[in-house]
Chain A
């Protein structure tokens, strides 16, 4: 999906837990996340802290989208 969207010139950041799979299928901007069942969360953290971490991840995603790259990059 990432590639098909990117082909149209739209910048995509692929946020996923298992980076090697993302690398293999050829996403360009890759953002590593927490874990498969909760990429943007961590049930072990208290809700406040969890949300703070989630926000930081999204901020990182936005930075990745604004970063010029010429090849695959893990942020």
Chain B
């Protein structure tokens, strides 16, 4: 069968046949045709033709990652931006088995190539390879054995998954042998949620193995910011996820899963009122907030405290969004954008109110 897909194969100095630990600082180089595992791969998966092999020293990539990646992208650019008939379709890297440095190199190269040239870039690793946690969300990692003894099955698996991607097929855990990428996706199960719940409970009660359908996440933490030294001169800002917006909701912030945040002036305002402001939040009974928006964002008493000198001054914009089914990723994004504006105005302290 004639090869359908043209691939670049990425290897470290050892698998590329250029040397051992003594060559670990080898700069990236591109060699014509297949080398080492690439030759084996062409035999195992005839759909794939290895047109070139990229070899890079383990330490070179690990220690000068940014430089190495930019050199690699420069080397590969002509191949991926070629005329249609000569264009390369994909990049394969590894298998890295359980080798940490090699794994990190494969992950970094695949991620960069995928982002830069928008082509499938697939690697293979042993699930406990430390690079898996670092790259599984960005890079498709086929499951590989622990060491070189598993070369044949690992190569087949890696190339097989890459071919599926090129054919536009969806990969599914359980059916395809890869490391899940941390994205939640819906599917229709065979049984209703109620039946699955009773089944799961009976197994749990009988001490039999069961699998939860949602593994509890571990949240990342941020170190507490230092306390405000002298509140009497500090600049304070108000932020809310409780959806307090000017009357009429001028930015049309959605009642749920808000796609934006609003920045609204506070200059000349001594308090919110039912006439000037309202709640755009769909997740709670807004009657009380609409009667008196200070119940959500306490501007009235903040102004009093400002006048009394309890803190220095108030940042003259407040920021509002609706925290109702809003994804954490979006909340984070809004937080960063708000933080930029606060820093620019020398704000040292924030009261963030939620419902």
Residues of A at under 8 Å CB distance from B?
1-17, 22, 24-26, 28-29, 33, 36-41, 43, 51, 54-55, 57-59, 61-62, 65-72
A40 in contact with B353 given A2-B335, A51-B300, A55-B301 (CB within 8 Å):
yes
Q: Bound complex: CA of A14 vs CA of B338, how far in Å?
A: 15
State whether B219 touches A11 (Cβ < 8 A). Answer: no
Q: How far is the CB of B181 from chain A (nearest CB, A)?
A: 23
CB distance from B84 to the nearest CB of A (A): 44
B226→A16 contact, CB < 8 A: no
Max chain A C-beta neighbours (<10 A), residue from B227, B291, B300, B331: B227
Find out whether the CB atom of B295 lies under 8 angstroms from the CB atom of A65: no
Most chain A beta-carbon neighbours within 10 Å: one of B305, B334, B354: B354
8 A–B pairs (Cβ distance < 8 Å), ordered by A: A2-B352, A4-B336, A10-B339, A10-B350, A11-B224, A26-B219, A54-B294, A58-B298
B355 lies within 8 A of A15 (CB): no
Among B241, B289, B305, B342, point to the contact of A55 (Cβ < 8 A): B305
Q: Of A5, A33, A71, which one neighbours B339 at CB under 8 angstroms?
A: A5
Interface centre among B298, B300, B340 (most CB of A within 10 A): B298
Task: Check A62 against B311 for contact (C-beta < 8 Å).
Answer: yes
**Contact assessment for B288 and A3 in the assembled complex, using a CB-CB cutoff below 8 Å:** no
* Known A1-B338, A6-B222, A37-B289; 10 more pairs at CB < 8 Å: A5-B342, A7-B339, A10-B347, A15-B353, A37-B287, A38-B289, A39-B354, A55-B305, A58-B302, A67-B227
With A and B bound together, what is the CA distance between A61 and B354 in angstroms? 13
Distance to closest chain A CB from B325 (angstroms): 13
Q: Give how many B residues have a beta carbon under 8 Å from the other chain's beta carbons.
A: 60
What CA separation (Å) do A54 and B295 show in the bound complex?
8
Which residues does chain A contribute within 8 Å of B332, judged by CB atoms? 1, 3-4
Assess whether B349 is in contact with A65, with CB atoms less than 8 Å apart. yes
Interface residues of B (CB under 8 A from A): 219-229, 231, 234, 236, 239, 241-242, 284-289, 291-292, 294-298, 300-302, 304-305, 310-311, 321, 323, 328, 331-336, 338-340, 342-343, 347-355
CB distance from A16 to the nearest CB of B (A): 4
A5 to chain B, nearest CB (A): 4
CA distance A43 to B285 in the complex (A): 12
Interface centre among A28, A40, A66, A67 (most CB of B within 10 A): A40
CB contact between A41 and one of B226, B295, B338, B349 (< 8 Å): that residue: B295
With A25-B328, A39-B242 given, is the CB distance from A71 to B224 under 8 Å? yes
